[in-house]
Structure 1
Amino acid sequence: MEATTVRTQEGFSLTVTTGKRDGLLGKLGIGNTAGIDAVCCPECGLLRLYADLE
């Protein structure tokens, strides 16, 4: 597996919602997001996505 970059058609990287925030932003309905790390097998093309939670 090799690291790769996944982007939307508009060129932005993908993110995933991980849950609600505490405090004022959470009350406004804004959730936490995390970036996505992608790895791809150069032989078979299998693509796996992992949330970057750190």
Structure 2
Amino acid sequence: MNNRRNHLLFLALYVIIAVVTWFIKWQVATVIFGLLALNALRLYVSDKKNE
């Protein structure tokens, strides 16, 4: 349960940072944080399936 909450927290954090970097036109940072958000989402779904 705690792992899923952590993955969800990081997902929200990475999405917020990716949106902010997109608005200030930092393309590389947007891609990096977008990929981190996708990875956090993958881990969240993976932990949810294993429960």
Q: How high is the TM-score relative to the length of structure 2?
A: 0.22
Higher fraction of strand:
1
Computing the radius of gyration over CA atoms, which structure comes out larger, 1 or 2? 1
Q: Greater RCO between the two (CA within 8 Å, min separation 6)?
A: 2
Higher fraction of helix:
2
